[in-house]
Structure 1
Amino acid sequence: MNFLLPLTGSFAKPAAENPTVAMIEAAYRAMGLDWRYLNCQVDPADLGDAVRGARAMGWRGFNCSIPHKVAVIPHLDELGTSARIIGAVNTVVRDGDRLIGENTDGRGFVKALQQVCDPMGKTVVLFGAGGAARAVGVEMALAGAARITVVNRSPDRGQTVVDLLNDQTDARADYAPWQGSFRIPQGTDIVIHATSVGLYPDVDAMPDIDLDSITPDMVVADGIHNPPLTRLLKAAQDKGCKTADGLGMLVQQGVIGIRYWTGKDADPAVMRQALLDLEL
């Protein structure tokens, strides 16, 4: 039996209630793989020992959540392109005796979005400048987005993401202050919400966006996976917009990780159903 375990410092739920565990183990069962994906609580002071243990036991890989996404980097042998640009790792892959750090946060989002539209050449408005927004912005740029406007209340954090995109990718990025109800500029192709507003249990919360500025030709994506249909997405659908939800992003992150670890393609429909069975 092969063991594939995540290192996590934030998940405190039992495995049966952990969305990622449920999703990936359902995929393994459907693929006929005698693999396990287990949840481990690792104190930050013990992270180095945990990674060395993963090496010693021959783990095929593991996931890292906050607060380990940056701290794990010195314990790895190499970083993939996305992880290097973003400066954070959420997926570690074993390659022979080496551990390679990857970042699937934004890539999963983009993969889910690509089922609705192709980012190539598109104009994007991105709300947020935290870790998730940073990852999404980088992956949107690597997927060919032409222009990305980062909308954030903190100018310093927003400009940091803008500078990263302009320095490390071919996209043209700019910052827009989020003061009051933000009006989406005409000509925007894709609107992405990448903050925690609307996340369970605060499901009635709505990001401060002028809904009248959203037009049917826009694609609206929300990184919130619980609930899958946020108030923002419902409002966008009511306007005739195509939408992409955070549940699809979470599933695609898992699909990418399983491909890294096993070399095989998982069924996203099986994984999404496993999440829906948890009544997220």
Structure 2
Amino acid sequence: MIKGTTKIFGVIGFPIEHTASPAIHNAAFAALGLDCAYLPLAVRPENLGRAVAGLSSLGIIGLNVTIPHKETVIACLDEVSEEARRIGAVNTVAIRSGKLIGYNTDGKGFVQALKEEGKIDIQGRRIVILGAGGAGRAVAVQSGLEGAGELIIFDKIAPRAKRLAADIGRNIPQLRVGVISWDKIKFNVGKADILINATPVGMNAGDKLLIDPEWLLPRTLVFDLVYNPQETRLMQASRERGCSVVGGLGMLIHQGALSFELWTGKEAPLDAMRKAAEEVINSQQSTVNSRER
């Protein structure tokens, strides 16, 4: 029950209906007996500045940031952590003494999920990343910091991929970074140790595959950052090709846990968070399936 003493947290994005974050964080608060609540807040891009400016006045304590605001929200904040500055995107905001401080937990959440589920080390690996938005930025920069051998970046908006590559070149000069156009995708996917889908493609049932699975080598690990559905078409096709696959749920849980710990100073209850995420995703998929029948 929300009371006058309840501390309020939330997530901003647009659209926001798909998010599992409220279920995850409310389960974490309940597991630890904290008087807190977490709300989904639909914020259109044109309203972002006004929405963020009002957070402190409303008494909101912490915020997650999702599509399409992870990069543009930086201009609305008072401070940004060194990690978020390097990445060029924010997915977590802590409000302390009226100041809005931006962080990024996506990169570390990605690495934790990769090690836990993929059983693979980034060190020296050739990584191909599809998508250079907020999540792609976090994954790319963190991969570089973890010692990746080479990063190859593709985005349908070529200047966005080039900006990411240039930023990485300035911050991690020892890392080999390349930007490719669509006509070079097949060749580079075929040489990847790790292929990462950092686009929203796969969230909707009608989404076409970004790549032809025949381009993949069976030794390639495919990481799809999409977490709903838990098994995307890319994951299914890659597994049939003989590849190891990792879905986005683990990254969602780990980045959420890191946000939770930033806000509360308490260790996140990972099991409760994962259970809540799986329940809400399964419920959403059941609704989608019933509509399609």
Structure 1 residue 212: Cα displacement: 4.5
Q: Any gaps of 5 or more consecutive residues in structure 2? A: 286-293
Structure 1 residue 261: Cα displacement: 0.7
Q: Is the alpha carbon distance of 1:67 and 1:268 closer, same or farther for their aligned partners in structure 2, counting shifts above 3 Å?
A: same
Paired residue secondary structure (1:5) = strand
Corresponding residue number in structure 2 for 1:234 = 236
Cα contact 1:220–1:236 (8 A) shared by 2: yes
Q: Is the alpha carbon distance of 1:181 and 1:73 closer, same or farther for their aligned partners in structure 2, counting shifts above 3 Å?
A: closer
Corresponding residue number in structure 1 for 2:127 = 124
Q: Aligned equivalents of 2:192 and 2:48: distance in 1?
A: 42
- Number of matched pairs: 275
Paired residue secondary structure (1:198) = coil
Match 1:208 to one of 206, 211, 215: 211
Structure 1 residue 20: Cα displacement: 0.9
Cα contact 1:184–1:214 (8 A) shared by 2: no
Q: Aligned equivalents of 2:47 and 2:192: distance in 1?
A: 46
Are 2:22 and 1:21 aligned? yes
Paired residue secondary structure (1:208) = coil
Which range is displaced more, 65-74 or 188-197?
Answer: 65-74
Cα contact 1:92–1:99 (8 A) shared by 2: yes
Are 2:196 and 1:192 aligned? yes
Match 1:160 to one of 160, 163, 166: 163
Are 2:219 and 1:223 aligned? no
Q: Aligned equivalents of 2:19 and 2:211: distance in 1?
A: 30
Structure 1 residue 114: Cα displacement: 2.2
Q: Is the alpha carbon distance of 1:152 and 1:182 closer, same or farther for their aligned partners in structure 2, counting shifts above 3 Å?
A: farther
Cα contact 1:183–1:213 (8 A) shared by 2: no
Divergent runs of 4+, >6 A? none
Q: Any gaps of 5 or more consecutive residues in structure 1? A: none
Cα deviation digits, residues 4-41 of structure 1 (max 9, x gap): 3225241453xxx7411011111221222221112234
Matches within 5 A, 1:103-142: 103-115=104-116, 116=118, 117-142=120-145
Counterpart residue type for residue 277 of structure 1: E
Corresponding residue number in structure 2 for 1:249 = 251
Corresponding residue number in structure 2 for 1:172 = 176
Corresponding residue number in structure 2 for 1:79 = 80
Cα contact 1:133–1:195 (8 A) shared by 2: yes
Q: Give the structure-1-normalised TM-score.
A: 0.84
Cα contact 2:94–2:101 (8 A) shared by 1: yes
Which range is displaced more, 89-98 or 135-144?
Answer: 89-98
Corresponding residue number in structure 2 for 1:148 = 151
Counterpart residue type for residue 88 of structure 2: G
Structure 1 residue 67: Cα displacement: 4.6
Instruction: State the Cα RMSD in Å.
Output: 2.7
Structure 1 residue 168: Cα displacement: 1.6
Which range is displaced more, 40-49 or 236-245?
Answer: 40-49
Structure 1 residue 155: Cα displacement: 3.8
Structure 1 residue 52: Cα displacement: 4.7
Q: Is the alpha carbon distance of 1:149 and 1:180 closer, same or farther for their aligned partners in structure 2, counting shifts above 3 Å?
A: closer
Q: Aligned equivalents of 2:145 and 2:184: distance in 1?
A: 31
Q: Give the structure-2-normalised TM-score.
A: 0.81
Cα deviation digits, residues 181-232 of structure 1 (max 9, x gap): 62446663211111222222325x212234243223x221011112111122
Paired residue secondary structure (2:192) = coil
Percent identical pairs in the alignment equals 36
